[in-house]
C-alpha cells in the first residue's frame, strides 16, 4: 500500500484579516528494509541458497535487500569480516518496492564471523545480517 503525503492547511480568521499557512511535509522518505538475506546467488531478482552458515570454499556471497518507501534514494551494503570492514557497496533505489544486491568475494582462508550492515545514505544502520563462513 502506498503512503501519500498529508497536506494540512491552517486558517486563522479574525475580524480584519484572513491568514493561511501551508504545513505540507517536504521531508524525503527514509528507506525501510522489507526483507534481506545473505545468499549464494540471485536468480530472477530473488535470493537462492540463503543461510547463516556457509562453507569456507563458498567463493562469493550476495547480500540481497528489498527496500520500500525510498525511490530515488540509495542504500549501502557494508561488509565486515569480524570487526574489520572489507567492503562498501552503494546501491541506487529506483522505486518502491525495489530489490537490489551486492556481491562479495570470500577468500577460503577468511573463515569465522561475518556481517553485513544495510545503511541509508546518512550511515544509519537499517538492518544487520550476521553469518559464519567455514564452520
In tens digits, the chain (135 residues) has pLDDT values of 444 444 433 333 334 343 444 333 334 567 899 999 999 999 999 999 999 999 999 999 999 999 998 888 999 999 999 999 999 999 999 999 999 999 999 999 999 999 999 999 999 999 999 999 997
Write down the pLDDT at residue 135: 73
Report whether 86 contacts 103 (CB < 8 A).
no
Q: In degrees, to the nearest 5, what angle opens at C-alpha 123 toward C-alphas 63 and 34?
A: 45
Q: What domains can be seen in the chain, in order of their start residue?
A: 29-133 (2.60.40.2550)
* C-alpha distance from residue 8 to each of 12, 27, 28 (Å): 13, 15, 17
Write down the pLDDT at residue 133: 98
Write down the pLDDT at residue 28: 53
In the chain, DSSP assigns E strands to 9-13, 18-22, 32-43, 46-50, 53-54, 59-68, 74-81, 84-92, 98-106, 112-120, 125-133
Global pTM reads: 0.78
Whole-angstrom distance, CA of residue 75 vs CA of residue 81: 20
Amino acid at each position: 500500500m502506498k503512503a501519500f503525503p498529508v497536506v494540512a492547511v491552517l486558517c486563522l480568521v479574525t475580524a480584519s484579516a484572513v491568514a493561511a499557512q501551508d504545513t505540507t511535509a517536504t521531508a524525503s522518505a527514509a528507506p525501510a528494509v522489507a526483507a534481506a538475506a545473505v545468499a549464494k546467488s540471485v536468480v530472477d531478482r530473488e535470493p537462492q541458497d540463503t543461510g547463516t552458515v556457509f562453507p569456507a570454499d563458498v567463493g562469493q556471497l550476495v547480500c540481497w535487500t528489498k527496500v520500500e518507501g525510498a525511490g530515488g534514494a540509495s542504500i549501502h551494503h557494508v561488509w565486515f569480516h569480524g570487526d574489520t570492514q572489507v567492503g562498501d557497496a552503494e546501491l541506487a533505489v529506483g522505486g518502491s518496492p525495489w530489490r537490489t544486491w551486492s556481491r562479495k568475494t570470500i577468500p577460503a582462508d577468511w573463515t569465522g564471523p561475518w556481517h553485513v550492515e544495510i545503511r541509508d545514505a546518512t550511515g544509519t544502520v537499517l538492518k544487520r545480517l550476521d553469518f559464519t563462513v567455514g564452520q
